[in-house]
Structure 1
Amino acid sequence: MVDACRDYYRGNRTVLAKIDEFERTYHIDDCIRWYTKDTFVYKLINKALRTQDVEQLYVFRYYITDLSTSLNRESKNFLSRNSIVLCRGATISQAEFEKLKENKGNLISTNSYFSTSRSRTVAQIYVGSNTSTTVGVLFEVECNIETNIICADVSYYSDVPDEEEVLFDLGITFRILSVTQGNEKYSQIWVVKMIPTNEQQTMVIDFIK
């Protein structure tokens, strides 16, 4: 993994120094902290997951295993609480937005780690403006202790704890409950309400964003 990262960032002294630090100091207890940083780890892991690059996924397999294991451990503490609504702001293409509207009541799945926030205000910062080709969307995810889903509050490990980040594990499936326009103050935002689920369904939409 380290050699692959060095090859990708060859010539970039700043990133190469971070890779050296990672090689010297990495321990499984630090894997969440490394992922929440805006560094080569986050960028290359997400690139491999979102493109489903088999070779790159193989290169990063040990780190991905560490991260999912750590989220599983942290999840046991997080989901021992009552129900909670988590939010994620995003800008998606018109085609992806139409797919969401057409599939209300159906399932969507992710093939990467799905980042959300406890704070609606924080999530709204990441909602972009509507254009002729893109749509600003706020995802609202309601979680409860009865759902056997792996997600964890990672704000303790983050360089920006005020973002109140909650991270879902790989391959989580959500059911779309509704797709509606925001209230008067946020009328330009579309709100997509979802719940995580373990249900199996013949047709699952791959929605990677």
Structure 2
Amino acid sequence: MADKLFSIEKDKVNLEDLTIIWLDKHSQDLNTKTRLRCIINFLKIFTDLHLCFEYIQSIPNEWIFIIASGELSFEFIPLIQNLPQVLHMYIFCQYPERYSSLKSSGIFNNQELLYSQLSKDVNYFYATHSTSTSFLPEKSLRDLTKDTGAFFWFRLFITALISMPSSDKAKQDLLHFARVYYTDNDLELQRINNFDTTYKPSEALKWYSSDSFVYRLLNKAIRTENIDLLFACRFFITDLHHQLESLHKPYVERICSYDLDELLVYHGQQMTSDDFNKLKANIGELISINSFLSTSLDRQVALIYAGDKRIHPTMESVLFKIKININENSETHQHPFASISEFSRFDDEQEVLFSLSSMFRIESIDEQL
């Protein structure tokens, strides 16, 4: 298993959700590369506009941030502005006023300001794109197709991972892999060493709620159903699930003490039009959230994470209103949920986290234009 994981890095496959591309006729110095990789690890540099465009077209399922020089922007931006995988396009130039007519996420002539905006946009991405879903029509329980077979297989695999004991060997397997993958990223290596020396199973939620390498690797593994990477993350998945289990019963008891039978939470995210259409096509059916699902008791917080379609017109801004019947929730021991505000970076967001593979039924969808 480890050998297979290490071969992935050699092939330069991106094991995080984001790719950063720098397009400039002049090659970039080492300091620029280092600074960018501290924000997005997977960096591609192009000096040829057409080779860059071909590369972007070859990765339709990745999320891309692009920095282009001013002199190439006039020709390049019309090529990529409607590609859904391109989330942000920044222009770096000496004279910003020359390019003000171009559609971009910002025009900069100062690298520090560019890095600052890039960091903000990356943090926003992880807050609004962290959920992976799959659907299970009722007939699938009787008519197993290839897709529904894969659906059940993935759930069984996750169940098996959670049931595996957490061990120091499993932790060291992931850290060894991470050190190989981030071998040229000194800042990330420092973070990995810090994780190695300070991590405790009782702090799994704290690490998941932070901007950590293990959070990014796990989310990409879940989104792409990368079995090798999921297996490498097995100890962390187990610790997260068990910590939620330990918090679940006291949390439900506290809700019941207020004579409440129902918990109402909200989840905001951006999704592609294709994924949103799948939601509309599955009203009345079951939806499985493959990832850990972050929700909030505060509707306004979730609305912020739903994003603004005017800023990203290729994406849909979606707000989920989720009702949990406390008395009838018979599978809470398998799919626990709990308030994690005390572990979150943003304790005022009233966050409630659901474990992997939680299932819900889509009751209705209201579209607001």
In which range does the TM-score fall when normalised by the shorter chain? 0.7 to 0.9
Cross-structure match for 1:88 = 267
**Which residue, out of 317, 325, 347, partners 1:144?**
325
* 1:43-192 aligned within 5 A: 43-80=216-253, 81=255, 82=260, 83-130=262-309, 133-146=314-327, 147=329, 148-149=331-332, 150-181=336-367, 187-188=368-369
TM superposition shift of 1:132? 5.5
> Per chain length, whose mean CA-contact separation is higher, i.e. which structure has more relative contact order (CA < 8 Å, sep 6+)?
1
TM superposition shift of 1:55? 0.9
In the alignment, is residue 34 of structure 1 matched against residue 188 of structure 2? no
Cross-structure match for 2:167 = none
TM superposition shift of 1:9? 1.7
Measure, in 2, the Cα distance between the counterparts of 1:102 and 1:73.
36
Letter paired with 1:41? V
Measure, in 1, the Cα distance between the counterparts of 2:341 and 2:175.
26
Unmatched runs of 5 consecutive residues or more in structure 2: 1-173
Measure, in 2, the Cα distance between the counterparts of 1:60 and 1:136.
30
The CA RMSD over aligned residues, in Å, is 1.5
Higher strand share: 1
SS in 1 for 2:295: strand
Letter paired with 1:153? S
Q: Is 2:244–2:355's contact at 8 Å kept on the other side of the alignment?
A: yes
Q: Is 2:338–2:353's contact at 8 Å kept on the other side of the alignment?
A: yes
Q: Is 1:93–1:133's contact at 8 Å kept on the other side of the alignment?
A: yes
Measure, in 2, the Cα distance between the counterparts of 1:171 and 1:24.
30
Higher helix share: 2
Q: Is 1:31–1:67's contact at 8 Å kept on the other side of the alignment?
A: yes
Query: Could you say which structure has the larger radius of gyration?
Result: 2
TM superposition shift of 1:94? 1.2
Q: Is 2:340–2:353's contact at 8 Å kept on the other side of the alignment?
A: yes
Cross-structure match for 1:19 = 192
Measure, in 2, the Cα distance between the counterparts of 1:162 and 1:8.
35
SS in 2 for 1:141: strand
SS in 2 for 1:138: strand
* TM-score of the two chains, using structure 1 as the length reference: 0.82
SS in 2 for 1:129: coil
Identity rate, percent: 38
Measure, in 2, the Cα distance between the counterparts of 1:113 and 1:174.
13
Letter paired with 1:35? Y
Measure, in 2, the Cα distance between the counterparts of 1:37 and 1:171.
21
The total of aligned residue pairs comes to: 183
TM superposition shift of 1:176? 0.3
Measure, in 1, the Cα distance between the counterparts of 2:204 and 2:270.
28
Letter paired with 1:139? F
Q: Is 1:79–1:144's contact at 8 Å kept on the other side of the alignment?
A: no
Letter paired with 1:134? M
Letter paired with 2:278? K
TM superposition shift of 1:152? 1.2
Measure, in 2, the Cα distance between the counterparts of 1:76 and 1:89.
26
TM superposition shift of 1:45? 0.9
* TM-score of the two chains, using structure 2 as the length reference: 0.48
Q: Is 1:71–1:151's contact at 8 Å kept on the other side of the alignment?
A: yes
